[in-house]
Amino acid sequence: MSLTPGPNGSPDRTAPATALTWRTVARGSALECLLATVLLFGVTTIVRWVAGPSPVSAAIPRIHQELLVIGACVGVLLALLILSPAGKASGGHINPAISLAMWRFGLFPGAAVVPYSVAQLAGSLLGTLAGRAVWGPALGRQPVGDAALQPGPGWSSGALFAGEAASMGIIVLLVGVFLAVPGLVRLVPWLVGLLIGAAIALLGTTTGGSVNPARQFGPALTAGRLDFLWVYLLAPLVGAFVAAAFRNVLVRRGSGRPRRGGADPGDAARPRARHRRPDASATPPADGGPRDGVRRRTGFAAPAHGP
């Protein structure tokens, strides 16, 4: 599933399970690894020059102002990556929690969630190592610390878990609502960038504002900060799963569908359709693909806006 809109302004649908091939999954995973590598190289670079010793950090004396600048830069970078050709082709998740949520929305094949997540985490490590290679020892020294995040003083694992899960849940819920409204779908990449940037700016001194397992994975391994890593990896997934379930309930209720086991009160006033005898036109396609004008897809994104 792509975070960019389809040809009619509606969210792209993924290929049916019968059309899903491991070649498609491998290609999408490779692109997600590339996107995560670029994202983490960008994150480490931004943190190096905004928070580390530099003319930029010298001009921004307070940490909250630094977080605001970092959040704005990372948010724009993330939106541009989602809108890039690679992002349009893979779906532009760059976050295991987003891949999980897209699956729960019914817009992404479940078989691709784990390969995508592994690729995103691998890209996180590669991007961090690239940042270390380019910027040298300055990236590993404090206060940069390879851009690894830590919760604020006094935060326990439980409190951090709740904060990260809730933050990711809010993001997933808003993204899911935008995806359900055709007129808002085109804004989703910028919405994601805005929400991630806001999380960095508002939560940087408390939870760290990760809301992305891939954001913390590479920096934490490179810096050796593993004490809270399991929280940063697991909590966004839990928050995304719960929020996706809640969003699906909201969408079903908003669509006016009758509940299972109950009758639609308007059925009595509607004329009943005459039963038609089955004929050749009602026969499902031989390949088990979609019918009634629904075009079969062989990838994660529509050719109208990307490969």
User: pLDDT digits over 198-218, tens only?
Assistant: 999 999 999 999 999 999 999
Provide mean pLDDT across the span 228-241. 98
Look at residues 52, 51, 216 and name the one whose alpha carbon lies nearest to residue 125: 216
Which pLDDT belongs to residue 17?
41
Which pLDDT belongs to residue 224?
94
Provide mean pLDDT across the span 162-171. 98
Of the pLDDT bands very low, low, confident and very high (cuts 50, 70, 90), residue 240 is very high
Angstrom distance (rounded) from CA 31 to CA 42: 16
| Residue 94 pLDDT greater than 80, yes or no | yes
Provide mean pLDDT across the span 18-32. 88
Half-sphere exposure of 205 (CA within 13 A, CB side): 9
Angstrom distance (rounded) from CA 178 to CA 191: 9
| Residue 286 pLDDT greater than 80, yes or no | no
**102-146 pLDDT per residue, tens:** 999 999 999 999 999 999 999 999 999 999 999 999 999 988 999
> Which residues are 11's β-sheet partners?
5
Coil, helix or strand at residue 5: strand
Provide mean pLDDT across the span 253-274. 51
* H-type alpha helices, the chain: 22-50, 55-59, 63-83, 85-90, 96-104, 113-135, 137-140, 157-180, 188-203, 213-223, 229-254
| Residue 258 pLDDT greater than 70, yes or no | no
**What percent of the chain has pLDDT above 70?**
77
Whether 135 and 42 have beta carbons less than 8 Å apart is answered as no
Q: What is the mean pLDDT of the chain?
A: 83
